[in-house]
Amino acid sequence: MAPDAPGDFEPEPYIGTRPPAPTRARLPAIPADPELLRYRHRLDQQLAAWRAARSETSLAPITAAQMPRSEWQVPRLWLAPTVACAVAALAGWWLASAPAARTGEELTQARQALQQEQDKVEKLGAALGAAWRELAARAVASVDKAAQDQERDALQQALQQSEAAAARFAQSLTQERERNRELQQQLAARHDPVAASTPAPVADTAKDNAPETPADPELLHLMARASLLLAQGDIAAARIVLERAAETGSASALFALAETFDPGVLAAWGALGTQGDVSRAGELYAKALVAGVAAAKERLAILRR
């Protein structure tokens, strides 16, 4: 069989070993960033479009004239997707590093904001402490003022009570003087006519005719106090005051002191629980009689009965 003419040669389609499909490089873990996802979606679309174009090109028939010149095109067919995958990996790494940088910057800003908040809290705490101390000082001042006002009111009330007590004391003293004057008048009216006609001793006459000495303010104060105590029924305290008054040599003080020991006078006063002393009363009546109190003679006579 004669060999075919050169013109009769029909090139068979080239059936060669196709280069392996480029493997998709494993991308590093990328945070879920919307911008990164959109960029990756665009890369996937471009890669899908490139694969579709490559599949259409690989199915086209290759002529014999093209066979000697297509050997250098085989590496080019798998080199392009490899480069595209490398570019995609590099872009993914760059996009992954950008959020990390942003995260570090945000962390720094968050720390600064936290420090500012802590400074504000410290300032507010200091202001609150100062306000609390001021309120405590005001409360103490108000309490002191209230205590002063209460003390002032108590003093005013005590002063009013003292003035009222002094007025009652002055009224009681006036009544007691009136009672003593009436008692002396009654005792003078009961004197024995014989005793009245008997000439008095010279000393007594001198005493009766002696000018009245001015009253001692301290003696008047003691007598007034004793009269108030007697009016209140405090016989024991009245005895102490009258003893001090009798030490000045007052005849009226001796007579009043003798009455506090006279059982008959105590019974007339209604002084229950106070024990009389007849001997002590007689001794004091005698001194009062010597001092010039004529009423002491009748009291002595009543005690001796």
Query: Are 235 and 280 part of one and the same domain?
Result: yes
pLDDT-derived band at 2, boundaries 50, 70, 90: very low
Say if residues 96 and 30 touch (Cβ distance below 8 Å). yes
Domain that holds residue 235: 217-304
Q: Is the pLDDT of residue 69 over 70?
A: no
Top pLDDT among 123 and 62 is at: 123
Structure tokens at 173: 């003293």
As a whole number of angstroms, the distance between CA 14 and CA 57 comes to 13
Helix boundaries (H) for the chain: 34-59, 73-189, 193-197, 202-209, 217-232, 235-246, 251-261, 263-269, 278-291, 295-304
Q: What is the mean pLDDT of residues 254-271?
A: 88
State the total domains in the chain: 2
Determine the Cα angle at 157 with ends 154 and 162, to 5°: 125
Query: Are 180 and 224 part of one and the same domain?
Result: no
Query: Are 221 and 180 part of one and the same domain?
Result: no
**Which residue has tokens 């490139």?**
50
Determine, yes or no, domain membership for 172: yes
Q: Is the pLDDT of residue 99 over 50?
A: yes
pLDDT of 138: 86
